[in-house]
Amino acid sequence: MEEPNPEYRSGYVALIGRPNAGKSTLLNRLVGEKIAAVSNKPQTTRFAIRGVITRPEGQIVLVDTPGVHKPGHMLNRRMMGAVHEALDGVDLVCLIRDAASSTGAGDRFVLDLVKESNKPALLLLNKTDKLPDKSKLLPLMQSYSSEFDWRGIVPISALNGDMIEVLLAEIMKHLPAGPPLFAPDELTDQSMRSLAAEIVREKILHVTGEEIPYVTAVVTEKWEEEREDFTRIYCAIFVERPSQKAIILGHGASRLKEIGVQSRQDIERVLGHRCHLQLFVKVEADWRDRPDLLEDLGIHQGG
């Protein structure tokens, strides 16, 4: 049995920020696998997804929180509960800020959450690829530095991968010494059923563009492993109105077929083998306020 390495570090790291700050894109970039739904629409992430990064010097367990926003529906209240729960249970907080957008009330709200958490924190200024003149970062850095004692400030581009290795080293530096929390080959604690549903939901957002509001949810209803190299997956897509169902189906169900093809390709890549993916669209009025459906979707009441 190997002797424990006294220099080894491990811990939980919360990624927190406003909707569309790039949290899920960063999570996927850091872990190297698509485990969180990525979209240019706000509110893509609905519950904490842990991504595990294992290096010789340590292990980082990333918690991707829902975008910080004002609670409205029961769905939104539970999502904000997930943010508070994540902040309570981590060793380090990473506040992700869209460096290319102007400062608003939402940014102040997120900063206040970080302050209240009383946890060591890094400031990540994301989307630097959208800033041709990097000197524009300086006023933002100065403004945030006057508000909080950051352990470090790292300008990054989650999309392009700029400064990602620097960021990983910075995160590792601020984690406590300790053994790994997950096995080295584990990337996430999400089940394959959950990952499949997340991938389908991402493709819906991608394929429907601006036509459908944020009222879709996906749950994997059946998972049949017919052979070691072939799986049958059945996913239900929930919407609130028949008109939304029509948007997702498209003319002659062409749009649903496109969502299915794109989803299956990503799911097969993660599974490492072929699969059959069947999608159904179900109209469930007010699903965002129904505890039974939220539980089915894995969006639990915080305790």
Mean pLDDT of all residues in 276-301: 75
User: What is the pTM for the complete model shown?
Assistant: 0.61
pLDDT in tens, 15-64: 888 877 888 788 878 877 655 444 444 444 444 556 788 888 998 888 86
Number of Cβ atoms within 10 Å of the Cβ of 129: 15
Mean pLDDT computed over 82-93: 76
Higher pLDDT, 189 or 50: 50
The reported pLDDT for the residue numbered 212 is 62
Residue 166 identity: V
pLDDT in tens, 111-161: 988 898 889 999 999 999 999 888 889 999 999 999 999 999 999 999 999
Residue that is written with structure tokens 């910075």 in the block: 170
Q: Which residues contact 27 (CB under 8 A, 6 or more apart)?
A: 15, 35, 36, 49, 51, 62, 64
Please say whether the dihedral angle defined by the alpha carbons of residues 28, 32, 35 and 39, taken in this order, is positive or negative.
positive
The Cα 107–Cα 277 span in angstroms is 40
In this structure, the number of other CB atoms found within 10 A of the CB of residue 215 comes to: 15
Q: Give 77's pLDDT tier (boundaries 50, 70, 90).
A: low
What tokens does 34 get? 């698509």
**What tokens does 82 get?**
């997930």
